[in-house]
Chains A and B, each alone.
Chain A
Amino acid sequence: NAGVTQTPKFRVLKTGQSMTLLCAQDMNHEYMYWYRQDPGMGLRLIHYSVGEGTTAKGEVPDGYNVSRLKKQNFLLGLESAAPSQTSVYFCASGVDREQNYGYTFGSGTRLTVV
């Protein structure tokens, strides 16, 4: 049981390049989330999805796009990377809040934009 798997674990991009971060979960969770973590700022929500085929903006969505074509996968795209997007990105999945509430996080993707 892998839980939440993120790929890649590390990446260095040049300004203006594009890339996609992949998140896969094997727990049949409906809800999936992308967060970024920056020093002293905790975790900030970028985009999230409440089910296959749905996406919604979080608090810092600019410069990112997402897709949830399959229930188990949630992709985060950077169309034109900027140095301000240097961060650690975490994916999380969760169940309905009427059940055992709480997210399961992946181990993160460390992205550096130079």
Chain B
Amino acid sequence: GQQLNQSPQSMFIQEGEDVSMNCTSSSIFNTWLWYKQDPGEGPVLLIALYKAGELTSNGRLTAQFGITRKDSFLNISASIPSDVGIYFCAGQRDTDKLIFGTGTRLQVFP
């Protein structure tokens, strides 16, 4: 089955730094979503994107739906220790299933 390619696989940054991660696919998606997973918990939805080119913010998080509809980007500004976790992108076409990326593991050091 297809999975989305996320990069980087892991990031180690200092508190206060900005973070960028992306997700790419060989196929077009109609919806892109970004989830965060805290240790020992299930993923929680951060941002949903429904239109090509759309830019949406949720606090310090900003995500974009790529113009080609084959990619999406997530930025976190001024990182804090509680940003630690695994970030997943997910894409959806016309069916009712989401396809998830492989995840980006973020570590934030004080």
Bound CA–CA A97/B3 (angstroms)? 20
Instruction: Write out, one digit per residue, whether chain A residues 26-59 have a CB within 8 A of any chain B CB (1) or not (0).
Output: 0000010101000011111100101000000011
Bound CA–CA A76/B99 (angstroms)? 20
Separation in Å of the B77 CB from the closest CB of chain A? 22
Contact residues in A for B96 (Cβ distance below 8 Å): 31, 48, 50, 94, 97
- Count of chain B residues near A, Cβ 8 A: 25
- Count of chain A residues near B, Cβ 8 A: 28
B59 within 8 A of A: no
B1 within 8 A of A: yes
Query: Which single member of B33, B42, B100, B101 contacts A101 (CB below 8 Å)?
Result: B33
Separation in Å of the B20 CB from the closest CB of chain A? 19
Please tell me if the beta carbons of B43 and A43 are within 8 angstroms of each other in the complex. Answer: yes
B97 within 8 A of A: yes
Bound CA–CA A60/B88 (angstroms)? 19
Instruction: Write out, one digit per residue, whether chain B residues 1-15 have a CB within 8 A of any chain A CB (1) or not (0).
Output: 101101001000000
Please tell me if the beta carbons of B48 and A102 are within 8 angstroms of each other in the complex. Answer: yes
Separation in Å of the B39 CB from the closest CB of chain A? 11
Q: Which of A1-18 contact B (CB under 8 A)?
A: 4
B62 within 8 A of A: no
- Chain A residues with a Cβ under 8 A of chain B: 4, 31, 33, 35, 40-45, 48, 50, 58-60, 90, 92, 94, 97, 100-108
Q: A101-B33, A107-B41 are known contacts; what are 19 more A-B pairs with Cβ within 8 Å?
A: A33-B97, A42-B6, A42-B88, A42-B100, A42-B102, A42-B103, A43-B88, A43-B100, A45-B1, A48-B97, A50-B96, A58-B1, A60-B1, A90-B42, A92-B42, A97-B31, A100-B48, A101-B92, A103-B43
